[in-house]
Chains A and B, each alone.
Chain A
C-alpha cells in the first residue's frame, strides 16, 4: 500500500521534471557556441583555415622555395597583384564552360526524351551510353583539336562531350521513375504523349535532372580547361600551363584560386535553381 502511494506521488513529479528542461537551452557541448546552421558553415571553415595555416607554417619553417611550393600568403599577394589580368583570362574559360554546359543540358535532355520515347532507341543507344561512361574521355581530347582546330569550338565541343552523359543518365532515370499505374491512369483518361511529358514525366524528372546538371557543370569546366591545356591560346587553363613553364608557382596557384571561385559560383547558381525547382516539384 505504502509503495503504491509513493509511486503515484512520484509520477507527477517525475513527469514535471522530465518536462522542465525542455524550454531551457540544451546542455552546452564542447563546441557549445556552434549549433544548427552556423555549425554547418563555421566548422568546415575552421578545418580549411587549419590546413592553410599548417601549409603556411610548413613552408616558412622548412623554408621551401616559392618555385617549389609557395606559401598561401605569397599566393594571396600574387593574386591581388594579378587579379585584373587573371579575370581577363577567366572570361573565355567561363564563357566556354557555360556554353558547354548549356549545350550539354539541351542535348542531354533531348537524348533522354528520345531514349524514353522509343523502345528501339533505348535498346540501340542506352548500352552504348553506359559503355561510353567507362571510357577515360580526357584521353580523347587531342582528337577534338585535330578535328575542330584550336579555337573555342573544339574546347566547347570537348566540354560537351564529357559533360552530357550525366545529364542523359539522370534525366532518363527521372523520366522513367514515374509509377506504372500512374501512366496507366494517364492512358485511361485519354491523355496524349506530349501532355504526359509536360505534366507528369518532366516534373517527376526535375530532382533527378538537377543531380545530373550539378555533375555536368563541373565536367564542362574540366573539359574546357583540358582543352585550354592543349590548344594553349588563352584562358586560365592556358595560364596555368604557361606559368608552369616559367616555374611561376604563385601564378599557378593564383589561377587555380580564380578557377575555384568561378566553379563555386557556377555550381552555386545551379544549386539555387535546384532549390527553387524543388520547392515546386520536390516530393
Chain B
C-alpha cells in the first residue's frame, strides 16, 4: 500500500492538446503532449521558443483549459486553478509597494489567511533564500537575482505540492543565472517538491533535473525524455563530469533536430 503511494504519479499528461482561436484562425500551441512525473522529481522541459512550453505549464496549473486530453495532479483531474501549485515566472512579478516579507506572504494574504504561523514560515523561507536582512526592503532596492529569490520564497510559502517555474532565470545576467541555479538546487534539496522547470538552457536543465523532457516545435510534442544520473545534493563540479558534456551534446542535438525540421 505504502509502495503504491510512493510510486503514485504526481503529474500526468495524456494526449494534451491546446488550440487557441485567434482572429487569423486556430493556432495549435500544444499538439499532443504526454508524460508522467513521479512525486519528488525535478523535471525540466527544454525546447525552442514558441513550442508551447509555457502553455503546457499554464494547463498544468489549471490556468488554461486543455482543448483535449487530460492532466492529473496526484491522480485528480485538473479542471480549474490549482491552489497548491507554487509558481515562478520570467519576471519576478513582485508588488513594488510591498516589503520583501509582505511579498512572500502575498499568496496567503490573497486568501485572507495570514497567521502567525504563515508569518513564521515566510520568515524561515526568507532565511533559506538568504534575504532575511532584506525583509523590510522594497523590491526596487533589490537586484534582479534577489528579486527572483523573493519570488521563489513566495512560490514556496503555501507549501505547495508542485512547483511550476517558467524560465525563471532567463532575464538574469549569465553570472547571476548560474548562482541562481546553484541556489535553486540547494533549496530544492531541502524541500524535494515535485517540480517542473521550463528553460532554454541545456546546462541549467541538466544541472537541476532528475529528468529532462525535450519539446519539439510543430508538432509540439515531447520528443525526448532523458534521465539525469547525477547524485544529489549536486555540486557545480558535476559540470566537469564527462557524462555532463555527453548529455549536453545529446540534448543539443535533439533540439537542433526539431528546429532544423522547420
Residues of A within 8 A of B (CB): 179, 181-182, 184-191, 195-196, 199-200, 203-204, 280-283
Contacts and interface: CB of A to CB of B under 8 A. Distances in A.
B107 A189 contact: yes
B109 A199 contact: yes
B93 A182 contact: yes
Contacts of B82: 188
A186 B96 contact: no
Given A181-B89, A195-B110, A188 B95 contact: no
B140 A283 contact: yes
B89 A188 contact: no
B93 A190 contact: no
B101 interface: no
A189 B93 contact: no
Given A182-B93, A186-B110, A195-B112, 13 more contacts: A184-B58, A184-B89, A185-B87, A188-B62, A188-B83, A189-B83, A189-B110, A190-B83, A195-B110, A196-B110, A203-B95, A203-B97, A283-B140
Contacts of A204: 95
Interface string B151-164: 00000001000000
A185 B93 contact: yes
A204 to B, nearest CB: 8
Interface string B66-92: 000000000000000111010101110
Most buried by B among A185, A187, A189, A283: A189
Contacts of B63: 184, 187-188
Contacts of B93: 179, 181-182, 185
A181 B91 contact: yes
Contacts, number: 57
A268 B62 CA distance: 48
Closest 7 CB pairs of A and B: A191-B110, A189-B107, A181-B89, A182-B93, A190-B83, A283-B96, A281-B97
Contacts of B91: 179, 181
Contacts of B109: 199
Nearest to A198: B110
Given A190-B81, A280-B97, A281-B97, A185 B140 contact: no
B59 interface: no
Contact of B96 (A188, A195, A282): A282
A82 B250 CA distance: 90
A190 B158 CA distance: 11
B61 interface: yes
A188 B81 CA distance: 5
A184 B81 CA distance: 9
B158 A189 contact: yes
B110 A190 contact: yes
A199 B112 CA distance: 11
A190 B112 CA distance: 10
A280 B87 CA distance: 26
Contacts of A195: 110, 112
A39 to B, nearest CB: 27
B232 interface: no
A191 B82 CA distance: 12
A190 B97 contact: no
B163 to A, nearest CB: 12
Contact of B111 (A181, A184, A189, A281): A189
Contacts of A283: 96, 140
A190 B80 CA distance: 10
A184 to B, nearest CB: 5
Interface in B222-248: none
Nearest to A190: B83
Contacts of A199: 109-110
A199 B108 CA distance: 12
A123 to B, nearest CB: 14
Given A181-B91, A184-B87, A190-B81, A282 B97 contact: yes
Contacts of B81: 187-188, 190
B87 A188 contact: yes
B141 to A, nearest CB: 11
Nearest to B111: A190
B164 to A, nearest CB: 9
